[in-house]
Amino acid sequence: MSSDPLRIDFPGLEPPDSARREESSGSGKRNGSPKRILLRGLAWLAGLAAFALLPFYTLIRTSIYLQHTHGMSGWLALGAGALATVLLLILYLVAISLRLGKKGKVPKTARRITGLLVASYCLYALVYLSGANAKTEEIRDTYSALHPVLRVAVSTLLLADRDGVLTGTGRTSEDYDRWGLPVNESSLHLPQDDGYVYAVDIRTIGRPEWQNRCVEFYFRFMGFETLRHVGTADHLHVNLVPGRG
């Protein structure tokens, strides 16, 4: 007999199996199934990747939008894109501050460091191209002839794709004469009205096709035009659309 005077025990009667299963399944739900844990982990990783990549997207996509839609000069558009990126990063800091219970306050020093980091990255992307990422020394020497927004986009790609190689940048009428071809006046490889080259060629030969597709997707996602040239001189042509202004 139970010590509880209000409880009556019936010897030989046990809780049904269904009740036991419900109790065990309820405990499993509270602890989380392996599938649910996996999905949460993947969602967390996807969110972390988006958190890390969004500043680069903001920098390049904002610059392209202002340059193409509003006819801003390359430098002005890039400056506006950099400012938008700084503001985004400061919002990150505000969110982190709120998470830590500090009422969203961001020290002035942190804001200055954020601006300095964005400016330093833009400067690095504008002036540096590794010899390993250029087919010839001539291409490396003429890297500065590319439109500034295109340079930043190419440099950002090369951060992730260390084996990427530029096979073509700017051209001149003398190049066409040397090749025995008529000058293509509409080519964006030629200097445009602002003096910059709007197109670049990227190597696709000897690389996995999935990798070539990812590179093409990256540039399209950022707002560039792409064209795959196949054959013995297989390469990916990427160009910035000239501004409407």
- If we measure between CA atoms, which residue out of 161, 164, 226, 230 comes closest to residue 199? 226
What integer pLDDT is reported at residue 78 of this predicted model? 97
Q: Is the pTM for the entire model greater than 0.95?
A: no
* Percentage of residues in the chain having pLDDT higher than 90: 58
Q: What is the DSSP string of the chain?
A: --S-TT----TT----HHHHHHHHHHHHHHH--HHHHHHHHHHHHHHHHHHHHHHHHHHHHHHHHHHHHS---HHHHHHHHHHHHHHHHHHHHHHHHHHTTSTT---HHHHHHHHHHHHHHHHHHHH---GGGBSSHHHHHTGGGB-HHHHHHHHHHHHH-TT--EEE----HHHHHHHT----TT-TTS--TTS-B-EEEEE-TTS-HHHHHHHHHHHHHHT-EEEEE-STT-EEEEEPPPP--
Instruction: For 35-51, write each residue's pLDDT tens digit.
Output: 888 888 888 888 888 89
Average pLDDT over residues 127-153: 94
Q: What is the mean pLDDT of the chain?
A: 86
The mean-pLDDT minimum among 81-85, 138-142, 152-156 falls in 138-142
What integer pLDDT is reported at residue 12 of this predicted model? 55
